[in-house]
Amino acid sequence: MKQLFYLALSVVVLMACDQKGRHSKYDNEENVGHKGPATDKKATLKKVTAAIPVLGERINNAATIRNSPGGEPIAALLDYIPLRCAPLNKDWYPVSIDIDITKEEFSKPLFHKGRKLKVNGVPAGTLQRDTKLPVATNGEKMWATINGYTEKKNIRSGSIIESAIVSYLSQHKGRSIADMQDFIDNFQLEEDKNVLKPYQLYFNYESGIDDPSPLYRLVLVFQGKQLLGVIHTRPVALNGYAPRRLQRDFTIHFLPGIDKSLKEDFSNKFNKFILSVD
């Protein structure tokens, strides 16, 4: 797994900024992820070369990206621009955003104050200082990455997957894959039917900001097409669900009424699996 997201992150630009349909029926942000090509799930954690969806949070109204919490401004971003957020730390998110660049900027990656920013061709904000930025290309596009920090209030809560899953489950009674499909599609969760048979997983990865080779961030676990539980690394407030600690700082919240033997079977399989990956 440590090589999967690292490589994917280096070849994918953040999804297009669709300004339409921002608010969904379940208090989440529409079109959070841009649908990308399907990936081979035979070995979830093996290296891949195809682009996979990179999920990100959305800017709330406008935001300043700073070089440290409360520090100097790097960039001013516009409303609803997508970016990646690491776990919150004292009301500040470490963030990362990929911006479009020219061939000349790719060769000489010095960017000047006042430069207009775009993400996939959509206006995204303005640079607030002269700075050098890391650049990358996938052979078709070139981009530079801005890393920094922004305040909690600057991120739309509905675009945070941990908040969205709590809202969705509180507003929808059904727990089948079909019932959860809107959520799965909205956050472009990847699917794996093979790694923990007979369980079926829908998941995304951590941001890759704190760790360039991250593990899962949130996983929906199904058995027999019915939701069994939710695995997460960041806090998730699922009242009435039975939490259980797993290896490598994961927690699963099992749905009420899940048989103890089923909980044990899944937990043992997951722990064995997650300890086996890099």
pLDDT for 11 equals 36
Buried b (16+ CB within 10 A) or exposed e, 172-198: eeebebebbeebeebbbbbbbeebbee
Residues near 229 by beta carbon (within 8 Å), at least 6 away in sequence: 221, 241, 252, 253, 254, 255, 258, 266
Quick: pLDDT tens for 207-242.
999 888 899 999 999 999 999 999 999 999 999 999
For 1, the token pair is 């797994």
pLDDT for 27 equals 43
- pLDDT score of 112 more than 90: yes
Choice between 50 and 56, residue whose per-residue pLDDT is larger: 56
Sign of CA dihedral 124, 122, 36, 108: negative
In the chain, the percentage of residues whose pLDDT exceeds 70 is 80
- Summarize the confidence of residues 163-174 as an average pLDDT: 96
For 100, the token pair is 């479009």
pLDDT for 86 equals 96
- Summarize the confidence of residues 25-30 as an average pLDDT: 42
Quick: pLDDT tens for 134-145.
999 999 999 999
| 6 phi, psi to nearest 5 deg | -60, -45
pLDDT for 278 equals 78
* Confidence label for 18 from pLDDT (cuts 50, 70 and 90): very low
Find out whether 128 and 83 touch, Cβ atoms under 8 Å: no
pLDDT for 213 equals 86
DSSP string, the chain: -TTHHHHHHHH-PPPP---S--B-TTSSBTT-S--------TTTTS---S------EEB-SEEEEESSTT--EEEEEETT-EEEEPPPBTTEEEEEEEEE--HHHHHS-EE-TT-EEEETTEEEEEE-S-EE--EEE-SS-EEEEEEEEEEGGGB-GGGSHHHHHHHHHHH----BHHHHHHHHHHTT-EEESSTTTTEEEEEEE--SSS-SS--EEEEEEEETTEEEEEEESS----TTSEEEE-GGG-EEEEPTT--HHHHHHHHHHHHHHHHH--
- pLDDT score of 19 more than 70: no
Judge if the upstream peptide bond of residue 198 is cis by omega within 30 degrees of 0: yes
* Confidence label for 75 from pLDDT (cuts 50, 70 and 90): very high
- Summarize the confidence of residues 176-188 as an average pLDDT: 96
- pLDDT score of 46 more than 80: no
In the chain, the percentage of residues whose pLDDT exceeds 90 is 77
End-to-end CA distance of the chain: 6
- pLDDT score of 149 more than 90: yes
pLDDT for 205 equals 94
Domain range list for the chain: 4-151, 159-276
- pLDDT score of 159 more than 60: yes
* Confidence label for 55 from pLDDT (cuts 50, 70 and 90): low
- Summarize the confidence of residues 39-66 as an average pLDDT: 59
Taking the C-alpha atoms of residue 223 and residue 147, their distance in angstroms, rounded to an integer, is: 39
Taking the C-alpha atoms of residue 276 and residue 270, their distance in angstroms, rounded to an integer, is: 10
- pLDDT score of 20 more than 90: no
For 39, the token pair is 């990936």
pLDDT for 1 equals 57
Q: What is the mean pLDDT of the chain?
A: 85
- Summarize the confidence of residues 242-258 as an average pLDDT: 97
- Summarize the confidence of residues 144-153 as an average pLDDT: 98
- Summarize the confidence of residues 184-190 as an average pLDDT: 95
* Confidence label for 168 from pLDDT (cuts 50, 70 and 90): very high
